[in-house]
Amino acid sequence: MQVNSILMPAGRPTKYKEEYNDQAYKLTLLGATDADLADFFEVEEKTINNWKEEHKEFLQSVTRGKDIADAEVANSFYKRAKGYRYKETREEKKDGKLVKEVVMEKELPGDPGAQLNWLKNRQPNKWRDKVNIDHTTDGESLNERISDEARAERIFELVQRKRKG
């Protein structure tokens, strides 16, 4: 057995540095994905996953940044779906000089598209575009070839059954 194999682990040394924790946090706050982090740190995405497993602080930074960014986007989407009020400041000038500032309260109505998206995700059984069609039979094959006479007889039976209710 060689001494080197006991003292040094096999494989390439890690490129991970402790300052990557803060950088990963800031990048994920801006919406970076693991693939984006891999590009930024010039490593493979698998390496990012390894760092998350091997460095607890790195995983926490990435998770915290993603969670905060997702929560902010979710809040903005929710406000957009519901509608909201906001204040807008308008400056009035005369001869290039500020005469007065006018603060106006405005209302942005809820966005029907955002509302529908919300409902489709929150209550998919009640709000879906998809229509379920029952393609079942009474155990009979739909691919079976039948004679014209048998087909006419079957149609007659179905019409009679429909009339009876």
pLDDT for 162 beyond 70 = yes
pLDDT for 134 beyond 90 = no
Structure confidence at residue 2 (pLDDT): 54
Q: What is the pLDDT averaged over residues 9-14?
A: 73
Range with the lowest mean pLDDT among 4-8, 58-62, 108-112?
4-8
User: What's the CA gap between 41 and 33, in Å, rounded?
Assistant: 12
Q: What is the pLDDT averaged over residues 136-144?
A: 67
Give this prediction's pTM. Answer: 0.59
Averaged pLDDT score across all residues of the chain: 88
pLDDT for 161 beyond 90 = no
Q: Are 20 and 58 in contact (CB under 8 A)?
A: yes
Structure confidence at residue 45 (pLDDT): 97
| Domain 12-122 class, CATH top level | mainly alpha
Structure confidence at residue 32 (pLDDT): 97
pLDDT for 9 beyond 70 = no
Q: What is the pLDDT averaged over residues 115-135?
A: 84
Structure confidence at residue 140 (pLDDT): 65
- pLDDT for 67-124, tens place per residue? 999 999 999 999 999 999 999 999 998 888 888 999 999 999 999 999 999 999 999 8
The pair of three-digit structure tokens given for residue 163, joined into one six-digit string: 């009339």
Q: Are 88 and 118 in contact (CB under 8 A)?
A: no
Q: Where are the domains of the chain?
A: 12-122
DSSP secondary structure string for all residues of 50-81: HHHHH-HHHHHHHHHHHHHHHHHHHHHHHHHH
In angstroms, the Cα distances linking 133 to 141, 162, 165 are 17, 18, 20
